[in-house]
Amino acid sequence: MKTSFLILAIVLLFSSCRKNELDKIEGPSLKDQYGKFQVINEFKASKDSVDFYNGQSVYFEAEFSKTVNWTLSITGMTSGAKKVFQGTGKIIDNTSTTWNGSTTQFPVFKTENCKAVLKFDSEPDTFVVYVKALSKKNNTGFLIADFETPFKSGWSSFIQSGANMDFQIKSDNTAAEGNAHYNMAGTVNWDWLIGLVNFKATAYGAPVFPLNANPGSNYFNVLIWGEPGLTNSLVLFQFQEDDNLNGTFTSQNEDMYSLQVNVNWEGWKLISVKYSDLTCLVNGAPATPSGNKQLEPNKLMQINMLHLANPSSGYAKTKLDYMIITQNAPLEP
């Protein structure tokens, strides 16, 4: 018994000789958090100019002596478009700052010089580099309207005869994409409808839009403007499916799905919705579709865009730009 205790004591004595943990620390480094801020590798862009249209991208690099919360803002010097990256760390590299020409704050970038500014939450230092965008980003998908060209002959519209009616394509520096957008404004005090535009598939040379049959892989995207000081606009999109593929839509026995957007923000905003998330609405309330009750984007024959407002709310105004259907993911403008 004494021997076993002796053996046990020796084993325990050896086991107590823990190797000192000289190279391990618990938690993040205090030096990273509270140490002196120094630039180890200068802030720079991976290239001076970048051709976004042909799939090129640019990234930014820098390394610091401590962990910092950083914000990288890229601003189009002509358009005023802005792309923002944010992060926390000691290193800025391609994993955190790869820019493919996309936009965080509208309008979208044009072919222009861009200024990239790096700032920190806890440090006063600011670093700047310049990059030239040789072309704007090319978005893949079926473009329904960017309003850069005149009203298509296949589109149709109806505009109420209210006061201060202004439904037209406008070319000015307020467009979200390109140089033009569709303006919709006016006062109609007897009806919710102010005006509408019907985008027919036949305007693009086919009885239905060229979309695949999977409603989960098609995304409807549109840029909508919220007029400062006005929150009464509703934009209603109706998606009419030709269930029996006879070339005409019959509301009594074919499906129509809707997307109603309450425009209660200021400035441009991207609205993206998966086709499978569309619902059937009657006067804004969910309802049962009249047709085969199947979401079938490959049978979509017409998209109606209605600008609505409560008749008692007075003047309503919104704008529309860059309506596109993308595949597998929402639009990254």
Q: List residues binding another protein (CB under 8 A).
A: 1, 5, 8-9, 12-13, 15-16, 18, 20-31, 33-35
CB of 64 to another protein, least distance (A): 16
CB of 92 to another protein, least distance (A): 21
Cα 224 versus chain centre, distance: 11
CB-nearer residue toward another protein: 23 or 172: 23
Cα 127 versus chain centre, distance: 27
Q: The dihedral of CA 98, 100, 105, 111: what is its sign?
A: positive
Cα 212 versus chain centre, distance: 22
CB-nearer residue toward another protein: 34 or 130: 34
Intra-chain end-to-end CA distance of the chain, in Å: 79
Beta-carbon contacts of 6 under 8 Å, excluding residues fewer than 6 positions away, are: none
Task: Write the CA distances from 36 to 40, 59, 71, 119, 122, integer angstroms.
Answer: 12, 26, 19, 16, 11
Residue 108, φ and ψ in degrees, nearest 5: -80, 160
CB-nearer residue toward another protein: 38 or 262: 38
Nearest to 199 by CA among 105, 320, 21, 59: 320
How many residues are recorded in the chain? 333
CB-nearer residue toward another protein: 34 or 265: 34
Q: The dihedral of CA 133, 220, 320, 267: what is its sign?
A: negative
CB-nearer residue toward another protein: 88 or 126: 88
Q: d(Cα 239, Cα 255) in Å, to the nearest integer? A: 8
CB of 72 to another protein, least distance (A): 23
Written as one letter, the residue type at 294 is Q
CB of 28 to another protein, least distance (A): 6
CB-nearer residue toward another protein: 87 or 267: 87
CB of 126 to another protein, least distance (A): 24
CB of 32 to another protein, least distance (A): 9
CB-nearer residue toward another protein: 27 or 286: 27
CB of 16 to another protein, least distance (A): 4
